[in-house]
Amino acid sequence: MDVTAYQRAFILHFGEMGNRWGINRTVGQIYALLYVNEEALNAEQITQALAVSRSNVSMGLKELQAWRLVRLHHRPGDRRDYFSTPEDVWEILQTLVVERRRREIDPTLTMLRGALLEEVSDESDRYAKQRMQEMHDLIESLTQWLDEVQTLDRQTVLQLMKLGGGVKRLLMLGRSVRRADPDIDNELEGL
């Protein structure tokens, strides 16, 4: 596995950004290496390409698997594990969203739910509880919306994204059409 200068720049960038993304340098570099390589690579090739220890690669791959960001392959007559990233960048994004949410948001949502079940009498606690309620409601709205968007087909999501701020006009249109013909949704079922 030789890495060209062109690829190296990308790999090093991911290594540096890793800190900010909550992964370590090696994990970032392994991911970047796999991302720009058409063929799946085995641990030995990764070790050699990145010039880090074999054990470090092993741990890095384990973490990437925990993130569900890499796929495992096997070749006939070769018992080594080969790793690759999904080809579809949208699929990668979806995984990233799901996993980051699981690690960075869900625990807080759980904590907030618990806190909101408690009764408080103290005046300052009453304010604190109200603030937690606001935070909880905001996070819940966002995650519910994310859940629903995730069930949509890619075509629809792309359309929505392309629409951008124009969604406002569409929402107005929806209201006015519904006012004129309350049965519009049934009529559209067949589309």
Partner DNA sequence: ATATAATTTCAGTAATTTCTGAAATTACTA
Partner DNA sequence: TAGTAATTTCAGAAATTACTGAAATTATAT
Give residues in contact with a copy of itself (CB under 8 A). 4, 6-7, 9-10, 13, 17, 20-22, 35-38, 89-90, 93, 103-104, 107-108, 111, 115, 118, 120, 122, 124-125, 127-129, 131-132, 134-135, 138, 141-142, 144-145, 148-149, 151-153, 156, 159-161, 163-174, 176-177, 184-185, 188, 191
Q: How far is CA 116 from CA 1, 12, 30, 112, 144, in A?
A: 54, 44, 42, 6, 19
Q: Does 81 bind DNA (CB under 7 A)?
A: yes
Beta-bridge mates of residue 82 = 42, 73
Tokens read off for 12: 């090093």
Q: For residue 153, what are its two tokens? A: 């087909």
- C-alpha span between 70 and 75 (Å, rounded): 16
Smallest gap from Cβ 152 to DNA, in A, equals 35
What CA–CA distance (Å, rounded) separates 70 from 30? Answer: 10
Strand ranges (E), 31-161: 41-42, 71-75, 78-84
Our finding on whether 24 is near DNA (CB under 7 A) is yes
Residue from the set 13, 62, 102, 131 that interacts with DNA by CB under 7 A: 62
Stretch that binds DNA, among 33-41, 47-55, 112-120, 145-153 (CB under 7 A): 47-55
- DSSP 3-state assignment of 67? coil
Q: How far is the CB of 48 from a copy of itself (least distance, A)?
A: 15
Q: How far apart are CA 84 and CA 70, in angstroms?
A: 6
Q: Quick check: 40 binds DNA (CB under 7 A)?
A: no
Instruction: Name the nearest CA neighbour of 78 among 42, 37, 34.
Output: 42
Q: How far is the CB of 4 from a copy of itself (least distance, A)?
A: 5
54/126 with CB nearer DNA: 54
Of these, 3, 14, 25, 69, which contacts DNA (CB under 7 A)?
Answer: 25
> Applying CB under 7 A, does 84 fall inside the site for DNA?
no
